[in-house]
Amino acid sequence: MDELKVFTIKKNIQEDNRKVAQETRDELKTLDTYLINIMSSPGSGKTTTLVSTIKALKDVIKIGVMEADVDSDVDARTVQEAGAKAIQLHTGGLCHLDATMTKQGIDELGVEELDLVFLENIGNLICPAGYDTGAMKNVAILSVPEGDDKPLKYPKIFGVVDVLIVNKIDAIEHFDFRMDLLEERVKKLNKDIIIFPISAKTGEGIDEWTNWIKKQLRKRV
């Protein structure tokens, strides 16, 4: 009986999350606002990548960022200084954001005049992959120092995202990292995934990434 009860509660939570996520997508579509959910482990360069992205797009696209973290407002201030409208979301220790939390953040941020909103999710490769936030696209960032074996250890996140950004390629010669092996492992999990090797520090690959974003925004119209 206990086992059945636990299963029912989990199922209902997931069903409710999917419902809120779809309602969020529908609402954003009516506002002509595009939401991208970005996930990664800590230290992969999420915020640095966002800063480079904002600087490349801010003159042609109105951008907002929701920065999720257990505490502090450092990241939100950083992207705000780069030229985006920003809000910090504190999760109270939770390791992920779900659709309801994302919706609350969207309402607080105010997206009516924004073309594009990034959700910088909590830094880990496990929990965030299990929740639909209401985003139109899901992106994972993997940095070179983390290794090319991460798809073997955390297959779920690589299987559900639309895009994989491989960051810190400027340091690839200092690590035992094979891009071809990473791509092979990722494609086995997700044959439709798009991979962008970049260096958020030097700017290498940022144009290809931001051109993909522009293409998604054109498609919405």
Give 140's DSSP letter.
E
Distance separating alpha carbons of residues 89 and 145, to the nearest angstrom: 28
Beta bridge partners of 180: none
Q: What Å distances lie between residue 48 and 35, 68, 81, 109, CA to CA?
A: 19, 15, 12, 21
**pLDDT band at 3, cuts 50/70/90?**
very low
Q: Checking DSSP bridges between strand 163-167 and strand 34-40, what pairing results, if any?
A: unpaired
**pLDDT band at 7, cuts 50/70/90?**
very low
Residue 50, φ and ψ in degrees, nearest 5: -65, -40
**pLDDT band at 9, cuts 50/70/90?**
very low
Residue 121, φ and ψ in degrees, nearest 5: -75, 170
Q: In the CATH scheme, what is the code of domain 2-220?
A: 3.40.50.300
pTM score: 0.91
The residue with tokens 């290498």 is 204
Burial grade of 177 (CB within 10 A; 0-12, 13-18, 19 or more): buried
Closest CA to 164 of 150, 178, 174, 145: 150
pLDDT tens-digit readout, 166-183 = 999 999 999 999 999 999
pLDDT tens-digit readout, 25-43 = 999 999 999 999 999 999 9
The residue with tokens 């705000």 is 80
Q: What Å distances lie between residue 98 and 95, 184, 210, CA to CA?
A: 10, 30, 26
